[in-house]
């Protein structure tokens, strides 16, 4: 059926599974797999990278195949969507296995696109994975807002505030939209107007995405999140809305 064959050679002393169990409450139920395949049936990454899927990945980890688990490129195809957890009758946290397998890769060997997006976010005040500056973001928001007010009847009082002190909601924005599809920001502005929300963007930490999380770089992930939290606190907002 075209499935890959893996061979276990010699005696192994598995450490990967033990490490993950230490991080999960009650060991994460990783030994309770029924090999039913429900995790693989709904996984968008099943069959990629040599025919790997969540079931195979978990069984390889359970069998102590550390070298195979920590070297398969399949972990970078996983979207971390957690469908496998929802489908699993035993609620096994396979994404946690994937995350830790990613961490075993030297940073310079991880996918360049994700590495680059994470590093861009760390270099910009707004945490944009596309490298967009906070000044450019504020300009685009103002420019699009002005155009909507002038050309769309009934939207003359539409707002898209930036750095509004004391707003109830702090809103993040995927930086792809202001950079490549700025008009895509408008529908959400209209929804917020309709419900009467008091909201604002911030020039600090405005970008919603966090590729450092997908890179499994804990320090960088925390750096980005803390910058966003600081932005919320500086503006005195009560709620933080992240569109991602």
Q: Identify whether residues 132 and 80 lie together within a single domain.
A: no
In this predicted model, what pLDDT tens digit does every residue of 192-229 receive, in sequence order? 999 999 999 999 999 999 999 999 999 999 999 999 99
Exposed (0-12), middle (13-18) or buried (19+): which is 241, by Cβ within 10 Å?
Answer: middle
User: What's the predicted TM-score (pTM) here?
Assistant: 0.82
How does residue 8 score in pLDDT terms, banded at 50, 70 and 90?
Answer: very low
Domain boundary among 64, 89, 105: 105
Q: Identify whether residues 184 and 216 lie together within a single domain.
A: yes
Q: Identify whether residues 99 and 152 lie together within a single domain.
A: no
* DSSP for residue 14: -
User: 147 in a domain, yes or no?
Assistant: yes
Q: Identify whether residues 124 and 49 lie together within a single domain.
A: no
Cα dist from 40 to 6, 55, 165, 167, whole Å: 18, 6, 47, 44
Q: Identify whether residues 92 and 203 lie together within a single domain.
A: no
Q: Identify whether residues 230 and 117 lie together within a single domain.
A: yes
pLDDT score, position 184: 96
User: 46 in a domain, yes or no?
Assistant: yes
User: 4 in a domain, yes or no?
Assistant: no
pLDDT score, position 10: 46
In this predicted model, what pLDDT tens digit does every residue of 137-148 receive, in sequence order? 999 999 999 999
Domain boundary among 53, 81, 105: 105
Alpha helices (runs of H) in 44-133, residue ranges in sequence order: 48-51, 54-62, 66-69, 83-87, 94-103, 112-123
The interaxial angle of helices 54-62 and 16-23, nearest 10 deg, is 100
Domain boundary among 105, 123, 150: 105
User: 3 in a domain, yes or no?
Assistant: no
User: 9 in a domain, yes or no?
Assistant: no
> E-strand spans in 133-208?
169-171, 199-200
Q: Identify whether residues 81 and 167 lie together within a single domain.
A: no
Q: Identify whether residues 122 and 228 lie together within a single domain.
A: yes
Query: How many other C-beta atoms lie within 10 A of the C-beta of residue 207?
Result: 29
Q: Identify whether residues 126 and 228 lie together within a single domain.
A: yes
User: 143 in a domain, yes or no?
Assistant: yes
Give me the domain span that covers residue 231: 112-241
User: 199 in a domain, yes or no?
Assistant: yes
Q: Identify whether residues 121 and 233 lie together within a single domain.
A: yes
Please count the structural domains in the chain. 2
Percent of the chain having pLDDT more than 70? 89
Compute the mean pLDDT over every residue in the chain, rounded to the nearest whole number.
Answer: 90
Exposed (0-12), middle (13-18) or buried (19+): which is 153, by Cβ within 10 Å?
Answer: exposed
pLDDT score, position 89: 87
pLDDT score, position 18: 74
pLDDT score, position 1: 43
User: 71 in a domain, yes or no?
Assistant: yes
Report the alpha-carbon distance of residue 81 to residue 114 in Å, rounded. Answer: 17
Closest CA to 205 of 129, 113, 115, 140: 129
112-133 average pLDDT score: 96
Q: Identify whether residues 75 and 186 lie together within a single domain.
A: no
Q: Identify whether residues 81 and 24 lie together within a single domain.
A: yes
């Amino acid at each position: 059926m075209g499935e890959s064959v893996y061979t276990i050679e010699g005696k192994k002393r598995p450490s990967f599974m033990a490490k993950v169990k230490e991080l999960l409450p009650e060991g994460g139920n990783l030994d309770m797999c029924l090999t039913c395949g429900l995790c693989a049936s709904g996984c968008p990454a099943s069959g990629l990278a040599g025919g790997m899927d969540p079931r195979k990945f978990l069984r390889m980890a359970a069998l102590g195949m550390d070298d195979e688990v920590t070297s398969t490129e399949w972990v970078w195809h996983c979207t971390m969507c957690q469908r496998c957890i929802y489908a699993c009758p035993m609620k096994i946290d396979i994404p946690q296995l994937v995350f830790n397998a990613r961490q075993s890769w030297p940073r310079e060997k991880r996918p360049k696109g994700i590495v680059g997006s994470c590093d861009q976010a760390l270099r910009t005040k707004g945490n944009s994975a596309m490298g967009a500056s906070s000044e450019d973001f504020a300009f685009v928001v103002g420019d699009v807002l002005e155009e909507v007010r002038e050309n769309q009847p009934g939207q003359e009082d539409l707002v898209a505030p930036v750095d509004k002190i004391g707003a109830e909601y702090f809103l993040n924005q995927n930086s792809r939209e202001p950079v490549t599809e700025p008009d895509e920001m408008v529908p959400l502005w209209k929804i917020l107007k309709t419900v009467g929300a008091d909201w604002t963007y911030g020039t600090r930490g405005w970008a919603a995405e966090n590729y450092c999380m997908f890179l499994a770089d804990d320090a960088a992930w925390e750096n980005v999140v803390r910058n966003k939290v600081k932005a919320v606190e500086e503006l005195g907002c009560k709620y933080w809305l992240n569109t991602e």
